Structure 1
Amino acid sequence: MSVLSLADVYRARRRIEGRVLRTPLVESPTLSAIAKNPVYLKLETVQPTGSFKLRGATNALVRLAETGCKRVVTASTGNHGRAVAHAARALGIEAAVCMSSLVPSNKVEAVRALGAQARIVGKSQDDAQAEAQRLVREEGYAYVPPFDHLDVIAGQATIGVEIAEDLPDVAHIVVPLSGGGLFAGIAFAAKQINPAVRMTGVTMERGAAMHASLEAGKPVLVDEVESLADSLGGGIGLDNQYTFPITRELIDEVVLLDEATIARGLVHAYEHERLVLEGAAAVGIAALLAQRLHNAPDFQGPIVLIVTGANIDMNQHRRIVRAG
């Protein structure tokens, strides 16, 4: 854990200030009644790019800009690519974003709209990653990883600092779990400030690379499949240096959800919280509704659900809501 310090997180916060929003923490009366504990939603959906990814990408790119970097590349399931494109445009840096054919078209177009190259490669995040690494080797791009990078983790960790400041007695934080940049960052900051806080990661049943890796005790490959929680897809990298060990040390529980449960969370968010969310952002709500979050007696108290992004294809959202 010595690779990251709380001072790194506070430096990241100063670096991204004015470029990234401090997001609201809003209590949900409906979810609080269900949980029999106060439940708050941390709304990263209001970021300019519609997701939390802007924090880590901005921190990493500001640091690269300070070195004179002019071209960056990343591999992304959509939201990180959009964040890199946004931060790169603001800093006057050329950006390329490599994505697989599983990335929804609305996320691809959002990257292009921000002036970045969108390169569609293969049928998995690993294929997109290989193309990004080729651009680094052959064309001199600087690589901005979607999660396994200390500047990215420190940027995402600023969410944990904001929660601790706005809700000092928080007992339980529930985080969508994918490559681990978000989980590792929030868990690190939150537990540095309050070691007693409970940290739960929530992901889909199929193709959950971090969960499979935690079970195996080392990073492993998984087959990617389509999911409503598409932003949680992709591997964690067999050479994972940071997010796997930090997550393994700090996670208290992993919750796996099927597609129908994720859909119910998305519908509840729309009908009761007045939020349009992508599937990955609704998994915390879905887990709570399904009574899958286990608040042990020592962890009774306020619960925070990280609501990560709003970048769902609206046609898909309408179909899910109509189906109920």
Structure 2
Amino acid sequence: MTRTFVDLNEIERARAAIAATVRMTAVNVSPSLSDLSGVPVHLKLEHTQLTGSFKLRGATNAVLSLSDAEKRRGVVGVSTGNHGRGLAYAAKAAGVKCIICMSRLVPQAKIDGIKAQGAEVRIVGSSQDEAQGEVDRLVSEEGMTMIPPFDHRKIIAGQGTLGLELIEQVPGVATVLVPLSGGGLISGVAAALRARRLAVRIVGISMERGAAMHACLQAGKPVFVEELATLADSLGGGIGLENQLTFAMTRDLVDDVILVSEAEIAAAIRHVYWQERQIIEGSGAVGVAALLAQRVESAGPIVTILSGGNIDMQQHHRIISGEDVDVTQEAA
């Protein structure tokens, strides 16, 4: 039986639950991007969230929903970086043991960030799907509770709180650009926006290399997509062949998907640093990349979500200095 989509009531309950822990992030107008686009462009500064990305919202909501017995057994999750950091933070705040399983493609800076929150990190295989195998073992053999990065009602509802903030901060928004990976963020944001403002256009932005949700939408069903090295590393990983929620929600609630190149992502990281004075990672830069490439048309105000800032600072320095950083070669 197909489960119903996450709704506005769930998102509003999540907002109340996480209010004491999660920061309401600011929105800035970008003069440079507004001039380029011909309409006001607003940047949702979610990279300034406590753990450096939106993932804290869903992770906190999920951890707070656990029973006492589940908390005693601990939580486990698979992550490309930011979910792990958010889950580690939420688990530590609740006094819950946490193990994060990751592939070797995850940058060391993100591994270090998770360890700094007190979680154990296990590196397994070369993809998120392979790391999931260790998660499954910990659930079956040790009784831990899996909190997945996106395909989970509490996670989606938590991410949807960002959508509620957007409506309040930019009430006339016409187009929202949302980084797209497994679909947890865009599903939650879209559910909130559709419930409150039906006319808004919602566009998912992903990278050309290994854009799993885009490939699944093209196929009409969840399919396996090879995980590839990319500057937008937090957008890597598959959506799961048994996906229950985010594939259908993205398919039904999102208007369009735009893919951006590695060079365009790098240009966006540079632009946001030099023009906006913000440090963001590749996954958080994809909306700006689409705007700079002038592939977004909107009749009214645009909001693009700067979803994360957990970039390796040496890599960031190379990019903003104008170096051609080719992670496809460096990962080989």
TM-score, normalization by structure 1: 0.97
Aligned-residue offset at 1:2: 3.5
Other-structure match for 1:293: 296
Unaligned runs of 5+ in 2: 324-332
Corresponding residue number in structure 2 for 1:109: 112
Deviation (angstroms), 1:321:
1.0
Matching residue within 250, 254, 261 for 2:253: 250
Question: Do the aligned residues in 2 keep the contact of 1:179 with 1:235 (CA within 8 Å)?
Answer: yes
The counterpart of 2:233, out of the listed 224, 230, 233, is 230
2:7 corresponds in structure 1 to 5
Question: 1:148 and 2:151 equivalent?
Answer: yes
Secondary structure (helix, strand or coil) at the match of 2:98 reads strand
1:139 Cα deviation from its structure 2 partner: 0.8
Aligned counterpart for 1:185 among listed residues 180, 183, 188: 188
Paired position in structure 2 for 1:59: 61
Q: Secondary structure at the match of 1:240?
A: coil
Aligned-partner residue type, residue 290 of structure 1: A
Tell me which residue corresponds to 1:281. Answer: 284
Partner residue, 2:328: none
Give CA deviations for 1:115-169 in whole Å, capped at 9, x if unaligned.
1000000000001111111100111100001000000000000011011112211
Give the match for residue 303 of structure 2.
304
Q: What does 1:121-140 align with in structure 2 at a 5 Å threshold?
A: 121-140=124-143
- Cα deviation, 1:198-232, whole Å, max 9, x if unaligned, reads 00001011111000000000001111110000000
| Kept in 2: contact 1:65–1:91 (CA 8 A) | no
Distance 2:6 2:210 in 1: 28
- Equivalent position of 2:329 in the other structure: none
Query: Which ranges of structure 1 fall in alignment gaps of 5 or more residues?
Result: none
- 1:263, distance to aligned residue in structure 2 (A): 0.5
Instruction: Provide the rounded CA distance (Å) in 2 between the counterparts of 1:104 and 1:314.
Output: 11
Superposition deviation, residue 294 in structure 1: 2.6
Q: Give the whole-Å Cα distance in 1 for the aligned partners of 2:104 and 2:183.
A: 22
**1:68, distance to aligned residue in structure 2 (A):** 4.9
Label 1:278 to 1:303 Cα distance change in 2 as closer, same or farther (>3 A).
same
- Report the counterpart of residue 71 of structure 2 in structure 1: 69
Secondary structure in 2 aligned to 1:77?
Answer: coil
* Matched letter for residue 18 of structure 2: I
Are positions 1:264 and 2:267 aligned together? yes
Separation in 2, partners of 1:18, 1:43: 19
Name the Cα RMSD after superposition.
Answer: 1.1
- Matched to 2:14, the amino acid is A
Q: Which amino acid aligns with 1:121?
A: V
Give the C-alpha shift of residue 67 in structure 1: 5.8
What CA distance in whole angstroms lies between the structure 2 residues aligned with 1:219 and 1:2?
18
Residue 39 of structure 2 is matched in structure 1 by 37
Does 1:100 pair with 2:103? yes
Q: Which residue identity lines up with residue 321 of structure 2 in the other structure?
A: R
Q: Which residue of 1 aligns with 2:82?
A: 79
Residue among 143, 146, 162 paired with 1:159: 162
Contact 1:77 1:230 in 2 (8 A): yes
Count, aligned residues: 320
